[in-house]
Amino acid sequence: MRSIARRNRFRPAHSPEQGYNTRLKLALIGYGNVGRALMRLLIRKRREFPFTVTGIHTRSHGTALRAAGLGANPAFGPPAASIGEFLDAADADTAVELTTLDPSTGEPAISHIRAAFARGMHAVTANKGPIAHAFASLSEQAENAGVGFRFESTVMDGTPIFSVWRHNLPGVEVMGFTGALNSTSKIVVETMERGGSFEEGLAAARAMGITEGDGAFDIEGWDSAAKTAALANVLLDARTTPQQVSTRGIGHLTPERIAEINRAGKTVRLISRGRRTAKGVSLRVRAEVLDRSDILACTPGTSNLILFDTDLMGTFGTVSIEPRVEQTAYGVFSDLVDLWRHL
């Protein structure tokens, strides 16, 4: 398969009418919440979509391999000595990178994806680190290797964003975007609006499983900065990193300040903004005071929303209401289907 992937440039090989007969063999790197949800989805849809997981590699649970396909609860053996050794042993067409995010470097996910491309494998990831830090060079490497690279779940879980631009808006140029993309900050603000403390809001978000580590990553705006950099790299060709996004989070907000804002009929949202300018691309994340009727303030709880400003399609947007890990897994699944249809 590797030599075939190298030989054939990555482009549609047949139409829906002709059918899609090729099986896609998957090597999963990371088997946590998203990996397990993806496995459940693959099993649920296996009659219609012939995907086989031939290997799973984790940091501390070890490595599982089975050419005929692994089930939802694989027996893990000793870990492969390196990602290269794992990918070679799994003998798959596609690497699915689902490891923990390192927002400051994007590693080791970037190296994992590079190792896959070097072997003529396609790569799909839900990890926004590689897109926020190295999108241009990874895309170039994929192009040179003649393989596909997909990353739908890196922003707004599985909600179609990148695939919409890839498949549905020919000729349309993105001039900018505005998004309420961080759920933890919204839960904290909503808790304070109900009379709770900042810490109670953070604890509520953590109990919902939507907060990373100690929560500082979300509260200080770095999650939003990583998503902003990822969107800008893909849609505005910004070639930027999260560190280059002007970022200020919600850490300075107090229940007293929130009550004052509420009395004026307003609320606060952590907003990501990206825009083409005469000097390049302007990117920022801020806790913005918004009218309650502002569309950016209207989505409840963990819901996310993004608006795009375009040259031909005016302004339009996408909203995801209370997404869960199943929707993240679906974004990965939709990427796999997209690749499979182009094999």
Ligand X SMILES: NC(=O)c1ccc[n+]([C@@H]2O[C@H](COP(=O)([O-])OP(=O)(O)OC[C@H]3O[C@@H](n4cnc5c(N)ncnc54)[C@H](OP(=O)(O)O)[C@@H]3O)[C@@H](O)[C@H]2O)c1
Residue 306's DSSP bridge partners are 179, 318
Q: Would you state the structure tokens that stand for residue 121, as one six-digit string? A: 């494998």
Q: How far is the CB of 38 from ligand X (least distance, A)?
A: 9
Long-range contacts of 69-77 (CB under 8 A, 24+ apart): 70/39, 71/43, 72/36, 72/39, 72/40, 72/43
Q: Would you state the structure tokens that stand for residue 1, as one six-digit string? A: 């398969």
* Residue of the chain from 26, 35, 181, 192 that contacts ligand X (CB under 6 A): 35
Q: Please provide residue 246's backbone torsions phi and psi, each rounded to the nearest 5 degrees.
A: -70, 110
Nearer to ligand X, 96 or 261 (CB): 96
Instruction: Count Cβ neighbours within 10 Å for each residue of 278-303 and write b for 16 or more, e otherwise.
Output: eeebbbbbbbbebeeeeebbebeebb
**Residue type at position 241:** T
Nearer to ligand X, 5 or 29 (CB): 29
Residue 335 binds ligand X (CB under 6 A): no
Stretch that binds ligand X, among 8-16, 59-67, 264-272, 303-311 (CB under 6 A): 59-67
Residue 206 binds ligand X (CB under 6 A): no
Residue 166 binds ligand X (CB under 6 A): no
Residue 105 binds ligand X (CB under 6 A): no
* Residue of the chain from 6, 14, 44, 59 that contacts ligand X (CB under 6 A): 59
Stretch that binds ligand X, among 26-34, 135-143, 255-263, 311-319 (CB under 6 A): 26-34
- A 10 A CB-CB count for 32 gives 14
Stretch that binds ligand X, among 29-37, 177-185, 269-277, 286-294 (CB under 6 A): 29-37
Q: How far is the CB of 158 from ligand X (least distance, A)?
A: 9
- Cα distances from 211 to residues 54, 97, 104, 253, 306, in angstroms, run 31, 20, 17, 18, 20
* Residue of the chain from 60, 144, 277, 293 that contacts ligand X (CB under 6 A): 60
Gap between the Cα atoms of 2 and 117, Å rounded: 10
Cβ pair 320, 159 in contact under 8 A: yes
Q: Please provide residue 178's backbone torsions phi and psi, each rounded to the nearest 5 degrees.
A: -140, 130
Q: How far is the CB of 109 from ligand X (least distance, A)?
A: 7
Residue 57 binds ligand X (CB under 6 A): yes
x/- string (CB under 6 A) for ligand X, residues 119-148?
Answer: -------xx---------------------
Residue 157 binds ligand X (CB under 6 A): yes
Gap between the Cα atoms of 253 and 226, Å rounded: 22
Q: How far is the CB of 13 from ligand X (least distance, A)?
A: 29
Residue 325 binds ligand X (CB under 6 A): yes
Q: How far is the CB of 61 from ligand X (least distance, A)?
A: 4
Residue 322 binds ligand X (CB under 6 A): no
Gap between the Cα atoms of 316 and 228, Å rounded: 18
Residue nearest to ligand X (CB): 32
* Residue of the chain from 82, 100, 197, 246 that contacts ligand X (CB under 6 A): 100
Cβ pair 29, 112 in contact under 8 A: yes
Q: What is the binding site for ligand X (CB under 6 A)?
A: 29-35, 57-61, 98-101, 108, 126-127, 153, 157, 325, 328
